[in-house]
Each structure stands twice: as structure tokens, then as C-alpha cells.
Amino acid sequence: MRAPFLLFALVSLPSAALAHGSTQPHHGGTLVMVDGEVQVEAVRVPEGLDIYVSEEDQPHEATGLEGSVVVKDLPASRVALTPMDANRLRAAGMTPAAGQTIIVTITDKATGVRSFATFQY
Amino acid sequence: MKKLTRLASSSLIAAAVVASAVITVQSQAHGIYFAQRARQLALIYGIGSEDLDMAKRVPLLNSVTGYDADWNPVPTRLRIAGPIPVVESDAPTTAVAATMDYGLWSRTADGEWHNKGRDEVPGAVFAERTFKYTVHLSQPMKHEVPLLAGHRLQIIPVGTDIPVEIGKTISVRVMFDGKPFAGAQVLPDFVNDVDMPPLMTGPDGVASFRLRNQGLNVIAATIVTKPDQPKKYDSIEYRATLSFVLPHAPE
């Protein structure tokens, strides 16, 4: 069935429908699938924004990642990600406002592979 | 915006004049284009299914640039990851582009190519100067692709709506030095059907064809012009590619 697919493709041409792994959030947040197989979930917490990273449903060790979170078009808002536990990193103090677009940058320290996940609040 | 020159209106003159400078020769046929490799966007040097060593050719690149949805520059570079150079940017990109000066090449009677001008290769039967350009679109476009600085030859989709289904017709305009180019050779599928007879752009620089792949599409355009240094080479070849992906159906 093509019609619904076309609409989706207009939203996200490169990564549309390439999911390898669940697209459902596991921590009560919002999940974005990036690069076809990396799941990035953003969860609001009192301390800021927690980011969970998995690859094909396998949690990615947080200590093996580095990155940042920034409000689009507000470079001064950039907050470095801090590994917390398991596959959870935290952007302390990041509190997205309604209407803002948040860009999460994650780099695998071992491979140098960088991924971007975009969240619309 | 300094680096970009907005696409001129479609008053399509001068193309025929430029086209008259075109000559036909047998030349090297490789191009550069961006394609996904191991989740990342890689710069490929090759033709058809040949994916040659781009990493060693990185020094020949003149520019690697990235752009957001409004065609504002995004700091972008290549990172050598094993045998392939991959795109690394400071923010998400809607498009990336690269230009390459592939230098002088002379062919001797035995079919060998030498990375020198005719004046340095005794017995050369043909010599050319080559430039390669590429643009990759990774998101739906809000604005028409502009002319990019440094891209003397560029393929520009007509309008902003690239079809997302195989078999749909796309029109592209081939621009040379900022003007529509009549008589450019266009290959609709540079990866999977590189030996098909090329299409030729019309007086308005436009060629239309059906999209070949529900996946990666690499469109190539080539023009060959007279040399500015005839003692060194017989012609100058400009090859540009435009690549983008039509997404597959949900799994």
C-alpha cells in the first residue's frame, strides 16, 4: 500500500521505515529511530533530559558514548551528555519547551560513528 | 549567503553557445557520489558497481560541504574510517556536496593511463583534464537546490518534489558555470546501468526520465570541452552526480 508510505516518506526521506528493532519507547519518553537501527529515547526527568541508546534493541553501554543535546538554532543551549548507567546518558538542566526542536548528537567512542536524533516538543 | 549563488531564473539562453564547445572523446568514466555505508554517509569513487579506493583520493578533493534545510552551511568534513571516507558534520545535514580536481591523465597506446599531461608522457594517444562534482540530498527539500560554489557542473532537480516511487518521472537541469547546458550526457542510473546510451539535455539544459531504483539513485551528467592548454591535454571532462534515496516500504 503506497499512499500512507508516501506521506511518511515526505517527513523523513533517508531513514523512513528502515527500523531494525522496536520503535516503541521503553522508558516513558519519545523514541526516534536513526540510521536505520539505532534507537534513541529522550525522557524528561527533574534533572534534565535522559537519553537512552540502543541498537537493534540491544542497550548500548553509555560509557562508550559521548555527545550533546542542543535546542535547534540556540547553540548556547548545548549541554554535554554524561553517562549515567547502563545505556542511559543525561543532559543535565536541559528542559525543552513546547515548540522547540532538540537535536541529540551521539558519537560511538570506539568507532567514531556519529548519529543525530531530532525531537520535536 | 556567500557560498551559494541562488539558482537563476529559467531564462535559458547561452546554453547553445556553450554546447558548441563540446567535443566527444573516449575518456575516463569514474565519478564520485555519496551513499550509505555501515549507517554512515560515505564518499564513493567508482562507476557502476565498482567502489574503488576513495580514501587515498581524499587529498584530491577541493571541498566537502554540508547544508541544512535552508541551504545554510553546516560544518562538514570527511573522516577516514578504514577504507572509506565518511561524512562527519556538527549538525544534521539535508545535503552534502564535494568537488574534486582529478588532474591530468594521458593514455598511451597500450591502454595505460598516466597521471600526467601529454607533454610528460611520450607516445600519449589521448590526454584529458578531469573534474568531478557531487551533491547528495538526504532530506525532502524545502527549497530548490541552489548553485553551489565551486561546482562548475551541477545537476539540479527541477522543483522541490523529488518523486519517492520508482518509475516516476524526474526532471533535472544540468548547469555549467551557472547556466543551463544543452547537450550534456545524462545517465539516469550511474550505479546499475552505466552503459546505457546517455540521454542528452535539451536547449533548456533539462533531461527527464523515470527513476530507476527504489533505493539509491545516482544520476550522472558529463560534458567534455575543448582544452585551455592544448599542449597538455586534448579535452576537459566535467562529471557531476546527484544522489538521493527512495525509501523502501515498511519491513
Whole-number pLDDT of residue B245: 96
Nearest partner of B36 among B215, B248, B226, B235, judged by Cα: B215
Per-residue pLDDT at B179: 98
**Given this model, what pLDDT does residue A19 score?**
54
Residue found under cell 536524533: A117
The pLDDT, as a whole number, for residue B7 is 34
Contact (Cβ atoms closer than 8 angstroms) between residue B172 and residue B242: yes
Residue A21: per-residue pLDDT: 81
Whether the Cβ atoms of residue B186 and residue B172 lie closer than 8 Å to each other:
yes
Task: State chain A's mean pLDDT as an integer.
Answer: 86
The DSSP symbol for B111 reads S
pLDDT greater than 50 at residue B164: yes
pLDDT value at B18 more than 50 = no
State the average pLDDT over residues B186-209. Answer: 97
| Predicted confidence (pLDDT) per residue in A88-119, tens digit | 999 999 999 999 999 999 999 999 999 999 99
Residues of B in CB contact (< 8 Å) with A are 36, 38-40, 79, 81, 86, 88-89, 91-92, 137-140, 164-165, 244-251
Q: Residue B163's closest chain A neighbor by CA?
A: A6
Alpha-carbon distance A84 to nearest alpha carbon in chain B (angstroms): 24
pLDDT at B249: 85
Q: What is chain B's mean pLDDT, rounded?
A: 90
C-alpha cell at A12: 523523513
pLDDT of residue B236: 97
Average pLDDT over residues B182-194: 97
Residue B33's H or E segment, with its range, is: strand B31-37
pTM of the shown model:
0.85
Question: What is d(CA B14, CA B12) in angstroms, rounded to the nearest whole number?
Answer: 7
What is the pLDDT confidence band of residue B250, given thresholds at 50, 70 and 90? confident
> Of all residues in chain B, what percent carry a pLDDT higher than 70?
89
Q: Write the residue in A5, A37, A111 that is nearest to B249 by C-beta.
A: A5
pLDDT at B128 over 60: yes
A9 with B245: Cβ contact below 8 A: no
Mean pLDDT of B94-100: 98
Whether A9 contacts chain B with CB within 8 A: yes
CB atoms within 10 A of CB A101: 14
DSSP string, B51-97: EE--GGGGGGEEEEEEE-TT--EE-EEEEEETTEEEEEESS--SEEE
**Count of residues for chain B?**
251
Q: What's the average model confidence in pLDDT over B130-152?
A: 96
Tell me the C-alpha distance between B58 and B220, whole Å. 20
User: Looking at residue B28, what is its pLDDT?
Assistant: 65
Which pLDDT belongs to residue B13?
Answer: 36
Amino acid code (one letter) for B97: A
Q: Do B146 and B46 form a contact (C-beta atoms < 8 A)?
A: no
Contacts of B11 (CB under 8 A, 6+ apart): none
pLDDT band at residue B1 using 50, 70 and 90 as cut-offs = very low
Closest CA to B29 of B125, B102, B86: B102
Three-state SS at A109: coil
Residue A105 burial by Cβ neighbours in a 10 Å radius (0-12, 13-18, 19+): buried
Cβ atoms B87, B34 nearer than 8 A: yes
From the list A13, A38, A113, the residue facing B245 with the nearest CB is A13
Residue ranges in chain A whose pLDDT is less than 50: 1-18
Long-range contacts of B86-89 (CB under 8 A, 24+ apart): B86/A113, B86/B37, B86/B40, B86/B41, B86/B42, B86/B43, B87/B34, B87/B40, B87/B41, B87/B42, B87/B43, B88/A112, B88/A114, B89/A114
| CB-closest option in B86, B165, B247 to A17 | B247
> Which carries the bigger pLDDT value, residue B249 or residue B103?
B103
Asked whether residue B251 carries a pLDDT value surpassing 80, the answer given is no
Average pLDDT over residues B8-17: 37
- State pLDDT tens for residues B225-235: 999 999 999 99
| Nearest residue of B to residue A11, measured between CA atoms | B140
pLDDT of B34 strictly over 70? yes
